[in-house]
Amino acid sequence: MTKAVYPGSFDPVTFGHLDVIMRATEIFDEVIIGVLHNSTKTPLFSVEERVNILKKATEGMPQVTVLPFSGLSVDFAKACNAKVIVRGLRAITDFEYELQMAQTNRELESGVDTTFLITSLQYAYLSSTTVKEVAEFGGNISKFVPEFVAKEMQKKLREKREC
Ligand code: ADP
């Protein structure tokens, strides 16, 4: 049985992430999405909220599990008993960072390898950061994230403005 972890911030999950998740389930028997809790960053959604959003977004995918994690992706992979880390590659700008990370991870843990899924063309431009920027300025994000995620974002941004 092949198991892979897909670590990331997912703040918020986009159609680009969901495309990678769907394609990973066609390659691996089990895909564990690791939602990173990074205490040095202030995300829009808390780690619990991101986990719940991802669980809802992947409801129809029985091979997918969603878990929070902090620390190194290789340690998360080891704890899940997975030998593969999945990452998405959008552009050459992703490549340099991802190559360095994958090589560092191999040095840290030779039993865990990284697999890259090249983004589908229609999502190549998409990033969580851009989606947040568009939403903050009141733009339409329905092409970028599932409808319920767009609603959660609008609610969150309203709450932020009221504070
Ligand atoms: P980051 O590592 O910048 O925090 P995210 O947490 O948003 O990235 O994303 C997790 C993974 O999903 C990364 O491998 C990232 O390259 C990939 N990814 C993000 N957006 C897309 C997209 N539109 N298409 C394919 N892969 C993507």
For the segment 79-89, what is each residue's pLDDT rounded down to a tens digit?
Answer: 999 999 999 99
The single residue of 90, 106, 120, 156 carrying the catalytic annotation is 90
Model pLDDT, residue 154: 94
pLDDT band, very low/low/confident/very high, at 137 (cuts 50, 70, 90): very high
- In short, whether 88's Cβ falls inside 6 Å of ligand 1 is yes
pLDDT in tens, 35-66: 999 888 899 999 999 999 999 999 999 999 99
Radius of gyration (C-alpha) of the chain in whole angstroms: 16
- In short, whether 132's Cβ falls inside 6 Å of ligand 1 is no
| pTM: predicted TM-score of the whole model, two decimal places | 0.94
The rounded percent of the chain whose pLDDT value lies above 90 is 91
Model pLDDT, residue 133: 96
Residue 41 falls in the annotated catalytic set: yes
- In short, whether 34's Cβ falls inside 6 Å of ligand 1 is no
Distance from C-alpha of 140 to C-alpha of 133, rounded to nearest angstrom: 11
pLDDT in tens, 94-136: 899 999 999 999 999 999 999 999 999 999 999 999 999 999 9
CA-proximal residue: ligand 1, atom 8 (nearest): 8
Q: Is the peptide bond before 146 cis (omega within 30 degrees of 0)?
A: no
- In short, whether 9's Cβ falls inside 6 Å of ligand 1 is yes
pLDDT band, very low/low/confident/very high, at 22 (cuts 50, 70, 90): very high
* CA distances to 39, 101, 118, 145 from 131, in Å: 22, 25, 20, 8
Q: Which alpha helices (H) appear in the chain, and where do they start and end?
A: 15-27, 47-57, 73-79, 92-108, 128-136, 147-162
Cα-to-centroid distance, 20 and ligand 1 (Å): 9
* Residues comprising the chain, all counted: 163
